Amino acid sequence: MKAIAVEPGAGEPVLVEKPRPEPSPGEALVRTLRVGVDGTDHEVIAGHHGAPPEGADRLVLGHEAVGVVEDPNGTDLEEGEFVVPTVRRQPNGTNEYFERGEPDMAPDGQYTERGIVGAHGFMSEYFTSPAEYLVRIPDRLAPLGFLVEPISISEKAIEHAVASRSAFEWEPESALVLGNGSLGLITLAMFETVLDIDRTYCLGRRDRPHPTIDIIEELGSTYIDSRETPVPEIPDAHESVDLIYEATGYAKHAFETVDALAPNGVGVLLGVPEPWEFEVDGGRLHRELVLHNKALLGTVNSHRGHFESAVDTLSQLPASFTDDLVTGVYGLEEFNAAFETDDDVVKTAVEFDSV
């Protein structure tokens, strides 16, 4: 079968031939339909993140997938069902995080991630997976099923943000997304159409005209150019906000978020920056957090429950939004186009079989 793989750091994914996998007991065989491409894939390709399985020279890419069950292999799945795979898997043996159904909370070294670190991904014509890691998706949502994984990341982030404010009455009226990439736009759409937050903002570094700015404004949100209005100046230019979702990986944003939060607000950090030393006024930030009951939290990955919630969220997103978000779906004969980073690219996917 054909697969898209990379030697981490080589800078270019290639099409390779691999044997079709055989499902082990408890696993199903899935025929891959579409696999999304995101920033993590580009980090793996560049060698900044991730690693192939032990003993392998290349890593099969892809962690945002949707497929159809080809062989249930005795599991509770049925042939022909559309499914989305979760990402994290147990390393050799098991551990308390997986036993609790919370693989997303496992620390480094106690998990592998399909298509990212230590395990081949889903960019192949077929893959196998334990049935417990396959989430059913309605037929009508299958063409966009590769969006379930990124939505699940935001499901977890929002869940944890709300949990951090659960000791008192907290109903956010305003929210800010830092970053106008595909994950930021998906989260903005969730704020606008699913959570129904009154006032939303999205910060980026794009010049008009740009498709992401069009998406932001069509959602009813306000675009903020960080070159004109840095994060600490947002309260004066607009307002202090109740909820901030950071998806830039720009390390200063973690600290600047504190300045942009309203009293009792919470900032959720998802970006993974490179090491960077710079000066901050730690005393002032500490004081701001304490005296105004603000909070910062970090979050990564998601578990099955978040994937299930993400399927429901996907069903609620406007078709006009997803049409604008997905700027290209490419077959294997032109898969390289899915990895291009031109200015007009927002979200892309590789199609292995027709939906």
Residues 157 and 292 grouped into a single domain: yes
Do 279 and 326 belong to one domain? no
Residue 49 falls inside a structural domain: yes
149 is in an annotated binding site: yes
Assess whether 125 and 183 both reside in one domain: no
| 113 appears as a binding residue in the annotation | yes
* pLDDT given at position 13: 96
The reply, when asked if residue 40 is annotated as ligand binding, is yes
Q: 311 lies in a domain?
A: no
Q: Is residue 86 part of a domain?
A: yes
Q: Do residues 293 and 165 both lie within one domain?
A: yes
Task: Identify whether residues 132 and 71 lie together within a single domain.
Answer: yes
Q: What is the pLDDT of residue 73?
A: 98
Ligand-binding annotation for 272, yes or no, is: yes
- The answer as to whether 111 is a domain residue is yes
- 95 in a labelled binding site: no
Residue 141 assigned as binding residue? no
16 and 132 together in one domain: yes
- Judgement on whether residues 163 and 293 belong to the same structural domain of the protein: yes
Residue 310 lies in a domain: no
At residue 94, the pLDDT reads 81
- For residue 82, being part of any structural domain is answered with yes
188 and 259 together in one domain: yes
pLDDT of residue 3: 98
Supply the CATH number for residue 112's domain: 3.90.180.10
166 is in an annotated binding site: no
Segments of the chain scoring below 70 in pLDDT: none
Tell whether 73 is in a known binding site. no
Please check whether residue 303 lies inside any domain of the structure: no
Quick one: 173 and 128 in the same domain?
Answer: no
Q: What is the 3-state secondary structure (H, E, C) of the chain?
A: CEEEEECCCCCCCEEEECCCCCCCCCEEEEEEEEEEECHHHHHHHHCCCCECCCCCCCEECCCEEEEEEEECCCCCCCCCCEEEECCEECCCCCCHHHHCCCHHHCCCCCCEEECCEEECCCCECEEEEEHHHEEECCHHHHHHHHHHHHHHHHHHHHHHHHHHCCCCCCCCCEEEEECCCHHHHHHHHHHHHHCCCCEEEEEECCCCCCHHHHHHHHCCCEEEECCCCCHHHHHHHCCCEEEEEECCCCHHHHHHHHHHEEEEEEEEECCCCCCCCCCCCHHHHHHHHHHCCCEEEECCCCCHHHHHHHHHHHHHCCHHHHHHHEEEEEEHHHHHHHHCCCCCCCEEEEECCCC
Statement to judge: residues 210 and 326 lie in one domain = no
Q: Which domain holds residue 213?
A: 153-298
Would residue 285 count as lying in a domain?
yes
* pLDDT given at position 10: 80
**Does 270 carry a binding-site annotation?**
yes
pLDDT at 337: 97
pLDDT at 194: 86
Residues 158 and 49 in one domain: no
pLDDT digits (tens, 9 = 90+) for 46-75: 998 899 999 999 999 999 999 999 999 999
Q: How many domains does the chain have?
A: 2
Q: Do 129 and 192 have their domain in common?
A: no
CATH number for 183: 3.40.50.720
